[in-house]
Amino acid sequence: MNNSKIKQINIASATKEFLAQPHKLLIDGVWVDGVEGKTIESRDPATNEVIAKVAIGGRQDIDKAVIAARNAFEGPWSKLTHFERAKLLSRLARLIESNTDLLTEIEVLDNGMPTNIARLTIHNIAEMCDYYAAAAQRIEGTTTTPPRHITDQAEALTYTLREPVGVAGLIVPWNVPASTAVLKLAPALAAGCTLVMKPSEETPLSALLLGQLCLEAGIPAGVVNIVNGFGSDVGEAIAQHHDVDKVSFTGSTQTGRKIICAATGNLKKVSLELGGKSPVIVMPDADLDLATVGVAMATFFLQGQNCMAGTRIFIHDSIHDELMERVKLFTEQMIIGHGINPATMIGPLISQKQWEKVQRYIEIGMSEGATLFSGGQKLEGEGHFVQPTIFTDCTPDMRIVREEIFGPVMTVQRFSTLDLDEIARMANDTIYGLSGSVWTQSLSTAHSLVARIRAGQVSINCHGAVGTNIPFGGYGQSGWGREFGQEGLDAYLETKAVTAQF
Ligand code: NAD
């Protein structure tokens, strides 16, 4: 393994040791190679250097993992009380906390995100485990009135039970890998499910470390199974598998459609967290200092590789030019570099493929007649870096405005109306409906506009206000269902209604 660049970057010896160890599949509590013995290379997107060799599975490995998960579901795991499952999740939270530095560095090296963001996501995943540990203790049914045709004959009692949905297949993307993994794993375990997780082939590492921590926390063998591999193979096998009761998928809208089709065989339950093209609306009375940073970070946070990214910016005519000059100044001062460098604000894109896709969209923007206001120049050298790029004078029909680019490309449209219905129509002119934000100092404008926006999460004077306890998910083609909060747990529970006649 060539990790010469890794040696030059200042990373902890624990990280080097983790990278050097074998990276296998976790099936039935044991680390194993895939049946076909295949591996992939995991690369640091900032240097393109290989950082680890990782075993990948195929369909036969998914069969083995599902059998392990089914046996575990029907075994002693099903006898654990809510409180015992909560205790395991709390232990996992403490282990995540004590491994924060390691998880942070793995996430930075595997994904490219800046260290401060990676650290925050690791803090958040410990919080998620604690949150769902507490939520597990409150899983409760209700009592209700028995049906009349029963009570006409005899006394009766009707109540509901909340039961785990069964074996859950969890399919995870690469853009915030540890966070998305735990966002599925923690509520699934809290509910009493067992699981087979497939991390993204682009970022296979942090899930393996989490798997190790699950074992250390005492989560029984077979409850958590992790199979790295490709989507068209391992991912599809999970979505199709007749003994998987539920699939929870986060990824592109295009793949989401394939998941739905693959899941029809046994009509498994499906949760989808998909793409976005979120609006950011800046009204004439917005606080421009706040909006400057807000607009820039709405698009450029995580290099734009963020499902909530606010990539359609709408600015009122009266402030457009001044605000955009400020956004440009702020953007051009953002430090681009290796995520390990604490000063870095913009890391690399995940892969050469993603880099090429984003460069293509920059060319499309220019050919469509948008004004290249900032960035857009190809960055030479190693790593998949893209300059934060701003297009102004955009129109609603442009591809750069309509399609999810998933890179640091901002599109700006100006508007002159103050009619909130008209403004909302512009914002809602998209197939997506994941996120959005409104920037104004008027409470009534803010709330009136928020009420008109068709999206699962809308923020006022901030953007992407995601939190462990706050439900998150999409309207339109941004998804089915919600993650985070109580709704994130409900997604792994069935309700059984019981009537007893006596
Ligand atoms: P992707 O759809 O290419 O892949 C996501 C996962 O699905 C990966 O693990 C991949 O291997 C797997 N996969 C691919 N093809 C599959 C198939 N046919 N069957 C089963 N699994 C398959 O997405 P990506 O490029 O990894 O992630 C970027 C996308 O994810 C963006 O569209 C982004 O908006 C979206 N995303 C959404 C959210 C959200 O919460 N709504 C969060 C993060 C990312």
Place of tokens 């293509």: 360
Q: Give the number of domains in the chain.
A: 2
Q: Indicate which residue of 193, 214, 307, 394 is catalytic.
A: 307
Q: Would you state the pLDDT for residue 437?
A: 98
Residue 473 placed within a domain:
no
198 lines ligand 1 (CB under 6 A): yes
Same domain for 380 and 303?
yes
For 259-270, what is each residue's pLDDT tens digit?
999 999 999 999
Residues 25, 176: contact at Cβ < 8 Å?
A: no
Q: Would you state the pLDDT for residue 456?
A: 98
Residue-range definition of the domain harbouring residue 374: 279-467
Same domain for 411 and 301?
yes
Residue 5 placed within a domain:
no
> What single DSSP character describes residue 232?
I
Q: Which atom of ligand 1 is nearest to the CA of 200?
A: 9
Same domain for 133 and 226?
yes
Number of H helices, E strands in the chain: 18, 20
Q: Would you state the pLDDT for residue 8?
A: 62
How long a stretch of residues is the chain?
502
Q: Would you state the pLDDT for residue 380?
A: 82
Same domain for 239 and 322?
no
Looking at every residue in the chain, the average pLDDT score rounds to 97
Residue 2 placed within a domain:
no
Q: Indicate which residue of 273, 394, 404, 483 is catalytic.
A: 273
Q: How many CB atoms lie within 10 A of CB 2?
A: 9
For 340-376, what is each residue's pLDDT tens digit?
999 999 999 999 999 999 999 999 999 999 999 999 9
CATH of the domain at 195: 3.40.605.10
pLDDT at 2 over 50: no
Residues 471, 488: contact at Cβ < 8 Å?
A: yes
Give the closest residue (by CA) to ligand 1 atom 18: 232
Same domain for 151 and 230?
yes
484 lines ligand 1 (CB under 6 A): no
Same domain for 207 and 307?
no
Q: 434: which 2 tokens? A: 């994941």
Distance CA 365, CA 362 (A): 5
404 lines ligand 1 (CB under 6 A): yes
pTM over 0.85: yes
Q: How far is CA 453 from the centre of its chain?
A: 22
Confidence of residue 280 (pLDDT cuts 50, 70, 90): very high
Give the closest residue (by CA) to ligand 1 atom 39: 273
Q: Would you state the pLDDT for residue 10?
A: 86
Confidence of residue 458 (pLDDT cuts 50, 70, 90): very high
pLDDT at 5 over 60: no
275 lines ligand 1 (CB under 6 A): yes
Residues near 165 by beta carbon (within 8 Å), at least 6 away in sequence? 191, 193, 245, 246, 269, 492, 493, 494
Same domain for 94 and 181?
yes
pLDDT at 307 over 70: yes
Same domain for 188 and 299?
no
Distance CA 32, CA 25 (A): 5
Place of tokens 């998933």: 406
Residues 495, 161: contact at Cβ < 8 Å?
A: yes
Distance CA 2, CA 400 (A): 38
DSSP β-bridge partners for residue 41: 53
Same domain for 458 and 335?
yes
Residues 290, 461: contact at Cβ < 8 Å?
A: yes
Distance CA 450, CA 443 (A): 11
Q: 391: which 2 tokens? A: 């297009």
Distance CA 72, CA 76 (A): 7
Residues 253, 478: contact at Cβ < 8 Å?
A: yes
> What single DSSP character describes residue 316?
E
CATH of the domain at 386: 3.40.309.10
Mean of pLDDT values over 397-402: 98
**Helices 100-111 and 177-191 sit at what angle, rounded to 10 degrees?**
130
Compute, in angstroms, the gap from residue 157 CA to the centroid of ligand 1: 45
Compute, in angstroms, the gap from residue 173 CA to the centroid of ligand 1: 5
Residue 188 placed within a domain:
yes
Residue 141 placed within a domain:
yes
Q: Which atom of ligand 1 is nearest to the CA of 238?
A: 20
Say if residue 288 is exposed, middle or buried (CB neighbours under 10 Å; 0-12, 13-18, 19+).
Answer: middle
How far, CA to CA in Å, does 148 sit from each of 141, 152, 158, 274, 501?
Answer: 21, 6, 11, 44, 12
Residue 472 placed within a domain:
no
Q: Would you state the pLDDT for residue 4?
A: 39
Mean of pLDDT values over 192-214: 98
Give the closest residue (by CA) to ligand 1 atom 34: 275
Residues 280, 256: contact at Cβ < 8 Å?
A: no
Q: Which atom of ligand 1 is nearest to the CA of 255?
A: 2
Q: How far is CA 5 from the centre of its chain?
A: 29
| 394 has catalytic annotation | no
> What single DSSP character describes residue 146?
P
Q: Shortest CA distance to 323 belongs to which of 232, 263, 392, 239?
A: 392
Same domain for 345 and 196?
no
Mean of pLDDT values over 91-95: 98
Same domain for 269 and 290?
no
Place of tokens 């393996």: 208
Q: Would you state the pLDDT for residue 218?
A: 98
Distance CA 300, CA 477 (A): 22
Same domain for 493 and 419?
no
Q: Which atom of ligand 1 is nearest to the CA of 354?
A: 25
